[in-house]
Every structure is written in C-alpha cells, then in structure tokens.
Amino acid sequence: MKALVTGCAGFIASHLTERLLEAGHTVVGVDCFNDNYGRAQKLLNLRQVGDTGSFEFVPIDLARGDLVELTADCDVVFHLAAEPGVRSSWGVRYEKYLQNNVLATQHLLDAVKERDDVRFVYASSSSVYGDAELRPTPEEAPTQPLSPYGQTKLSAEHLCQLYRQNYGNDIAILRYFTVYGPRHRPDMAFHIFCRAALESRPITIFGDGRQSRDFTFVEDVVAATVSAASAPLDELRIYNVGGGTPTSLREALETIGRISGRRLDVHYLDREHGDVKNTAADTTRAREQLGFSPQTSLEDGLLAEFEWLSELVQPPPAV
C-alpha cells in the first residue's frame, strides 16, 4: 500500500506514519509546519522515519494549489492535518481554522474525486458533538459544536459527505476522543500537567476538575485509523474512537501525582468558552467493523507520556 499521511510531523500522524512504515507500506508525508506549536518538536516527531527509504516528505500547504499530482498514485489518504485546539479557535486565529481544517480538506477531496480506487480516511473530533446529552455518545447523536474548532471539523465532515454523495468516493470518518501519549502537543492538558509536575510548577484547571473525558491513548487511535483503511465500506461510515473509561481531570491529576511522586499544586478557575463538560464514546461500531479494542489503561498511557517528557525536560535544580 502507498499511503499519503497529512500532518505527518504532528502528534498522532507521526505515530501513524511509523506504524505504516513498520508494516512495510510506503508513505508520502505532508506537513506545512504551521505555527500552532514549535517546529523543533515536530521535527523530533519525525526523527524515527527521516532516514527510511519507504518514506518521502513533502513540505506543502494543502490549502494552496492543486493536489492531484500529490495523490495520484496513493491507495489511501489519511487526512490528519488540521489546525488544532478549542480555546485558540476563537477570535483572530479563526481564519487559520477555516484554511487548515475546511479548505485543505476540500482541496484533498477534490484531488481524488474522480478516483474509485482510493480510500479517504478523515480524522475528525469528538468536539463535533459539543455537550452531548446522551453518554456514551453514538455516532447518530446530534452534532452541536461548542467551539469554532468543532464547527470547522464538522464542516470538513460535511464536505466528505458531499463528495461521497456526488462522486461516490470511498470515505471513512473517525471521531477521536481526547487523544494523549508521547509527542503530545504542548497546549494539551496532560502535556501541561506532566511538565508542571516535572518542573515543580503550579497547574491551572479551567473548571472544577470534575469534568470528564474519554481519554484515548495514541497507539490505540493509530490502530483504529489503520483498520479504517481496509475495512469493507458500502457507504460513508463514521466511527467513534474512544478509550472506553471516561475519567475526571481530578482523577487524572491524582494519577500523574502518583507517577511523578510529587504533590501537585492545582488551582481552579472558571470554565472557558467552548469547553464541554463531559465526553464518552459509544464505540460499538468501531469494535464491530474495525476490530477496535483499546489496549492501554490511563495509568499506563500517562506513564508513557510522563517518561517521554522526562527525557525532554530538565528537572529544576535541587534547593
């Protein structure tokens, strides 16, 4: 299989790229190194694949130009590139969300619209549900995003549906639920919490800490994503990908405290706009059709992330 992986230098896509290469596939990786976080970390994410002969890196902005040549001989397009983040999607950065989440998706879909031999796997988000009334939340639940980020991810899903309806494209959509693990983006909660523990700094929580998330380890997400490339599809399918054990932030902080062996200094502030209260995925469809079965407990996953960060962060000097 020859796969195109967009956002290949990012958190999840770099893990996906490695998994595909380890399985013997050829990968074309695309990334434009947008400014949501530092280029240095993204380059580190790619260090395991940089010298692999089956990997080709293409530095390109998907929102600009014709992508037909880029996708011409690919069997699968894994579209993970995006402008991430709920809180930063308000205000002046919204144009970047439109460009990188909506326009880039449209350009990719347009590049493969005449092809019936390519599978398009789109990485969406649980943010499309907003504050879902039904939990665990099935794929048929109403989509009511609470943030501009969630709105742009849902708009990209609608584009996928339009191309399926008009051109018959072979498309699977995965709605990821709060992914974490090694290479976590520096703006994400567990990265912030683990780094604060390592550096003996205070932690700020927006809300009372009782809000819960269906935390999902990155390698489990990658397994579902790879399966979506070959699962039999007779129509466009949407799959929830969640860890299966919703946990409150307070419980997660207790786990990080145990792992780090330190007492965490936690401060609570008002909940921010766009933050949902609770998430929980109904993964029945993914289990039945993708063979999805999360293998990593939250404690084991947090330990993996903490150990990864420990190698990057210099501890504070002893007093």
Pairing of strands 2-6, 26-30: parallel
pLDDT score at 283 = 98
pLDDT score at 48 = 77
- Single pTM value for the model: 0.95
Mark residue 299 as left, alpha or beta (left: phi above 0; alpha: psi -120 to 50; beta: remaining). Answer: alpha
CA–CA separation, 196 and 265 (whole Å): 9
CA–CA distances in Å: residue 280 to residues 161, 162, 305: 24, 28, 22
Burial of 73 (0-12, 13-18, 19+ CB in 10 A): exposed
pLDDT score at 319 = 46
Helix orientation angle between 104-112 and 148-167, rounded to the nearest 10 degrees: 10
CA–CA distances in Å: residue 173 to residues 218, 236, 296: 17, 8, 23
Per-residue pLDDT of the chain (319 residues; tens, 9 = 90+): 999 999 999 999 999 999 999 999 999 999 999 887 888 889 899 987 766 679 999 999 999 978 999 999 999 999 999 999 999 999 999 999 999 999 999 999 999 999 999 999 999 999 999 999 999 999 999 999 999 999 999 999 999 999 999 999 999 999 999 999 999 999 999 999 999 999 999 999 999 999 999 999 999 999 999 999 999 999 999 999 999 999 999 999 999 999 999 999 999 999 988 899 999 999 999 999 999 999 999 999 999 999 999 998 865 555 4
Choice among 97, 122, 129, 149 that is catalytic: 149
CA–CA separation, 267 and 207 (whole Å): 10
What one-letter code names the amino acid at 153?
Answer: K
Annotation says 149 is catalytic: yes
Around 302, how many Cα atoms within 13 Å sit in the side-chain half-sphere? Answer: 23
CATH superfamily, domain 2-180+218-242+281-295, is NAD(P)-binding Rossmann-like Domain (3.40.50.720)
pLDDT score at 99 = 96
Sorted by where each begins, the domain ranges of the chain are 2-180+218-242+281-295
pLDDT score at 34 = 84
What the block records as the tokens of 58 is 């293409």
CA–CA separation, 56 and 81 (whole Å): 16
